[in-house]
Homo-oligomer: A and B are copies of this chain.
């Protein structure tokens, strides 16, 4: 069983040890990559040896923040640290030989399975970056502009540039300190939030043009076919958070995105609702799950079939609201 570490205990453990290899999670986002590189940088500034395990799924957008920290093949670590990773199943394949021996896990997911020897967990934090900041500060490690930049990436990407509902006063407070410490927020925001790929622009246009409203415009359904993806030149990266689009429309209480996966008979639905409407209920009718306001399901039917199947389920969901 894992021992829960406070921030001071975590800082002390890091101060007393050396030769760290830091693991990130699959489909790495700004939080896991920002946290791991900021922690490595902070530890190095304390005279420690710290590297990141190569993560084969790092996208071009994030590569520059982590590329200088990847471990050479020759590196033999004494301790394994995981950041922002709730369970062993979320590590990339190349981490397999380390996942049974993670010494320290630093995380903000309440679903953390406590797989590490020591776990520093704070589920009230919007981003794991806020916890890394607490730890570096506790270690009396002044946040340099290099780690500040990486922590800003962590904080801002996990909160949609401070617009998501998880953003707290602490998130904004730490972000202000990171900008003060030299994080170039203007350039980072432009890169991370104010730039859309050609594929994203094109798929958003097609998706938007085809949105169907029903139930007095309380429901908006968007469809994404494989053909739409191909003609837009959109890839998986471009689909990030696209399910939020139909639910962002004024007056819409239930937003649904139906997306063709491998074949037209293999679709994924993503449901976003406004309280009190229950996304989980809708998706559970198709064997899926999730949270109350955001859920998903895989369905082996075509888009038109799924739309028909949805009518009754939506009627029930709306009457429960």
Contact = CB atoms under 8 A, between A and B. Distances in A.
Interface of A: 161-165, 167-173, 175-177, 179-180, 185-186, 189-190, 193-198, 201-202, 204-206, 208-209, 211, 217, 244, 248-251
A250 B195 contact: yes
A126 to B, nearest CB: 11
A169 B164 contact: no
Number of copies of this protein chain within its complex:
2
B162 A196 contact: no
Contacts of A164: 189
Contacts of A204: 204-205, 208
A9 to B, nearest CB: 26
Contacts of A195: 248-250
Contact of A208 (B170, B193, B201): B201
A202 B249 CA distance: 10
Contacts of A173: 172-173, 176
27 contacts: A161-B161, A161-B162, A162-B189, A163-B189, A163-B193, A164-B189, A165-B190, A168-B179, A169-B176, A169-B179, A171-B176, A172-B172, A172-B173, A172-B175, A173-B173, A173-B176, A194-B244, A194-B248, A196-B248, A196-B249, A197-B250, A198-B249, A201-B208, A201-B211, A204-B204, A204-B208, A208-B208
Given A162-B161, A173-B176, A198 B250 contact: yes
Given A205-B208, A249-B195, A180 B169 contact: yes
Contacts of A186: 165, 167
Contacts of A177: 169
A186 B204 CA distance: 25
B209 A205 contact: yes
A249 to B, nearest CB: 5
Contact of A194 (B163, B198, B217): B163
A224 to B, nearest CB: 14
A201 B249 contact: yes
B185 A167 contact: yes
A186 B197 CA distance: 28
A194 B168 CA distance: 17
Contacts of A167: 179, 185-186, 189
A194 to B, nearest CB: 5
A202 to B, nearest CB: 7
A171 B173 CA distance: 10
Contacts of A201: 208, 211, 249
Contacts of A251: 198
B197 A208 contact: no
A264 to B, nearest CB: 24
Given A162-B172, A198-B249, 11 more contacts: A161-B163, A162-B162, A162-B189, A163-B189, A163-B194, A172-B175, A175-B176, A194-B244, A195-B249, A198-B217, A198-B250
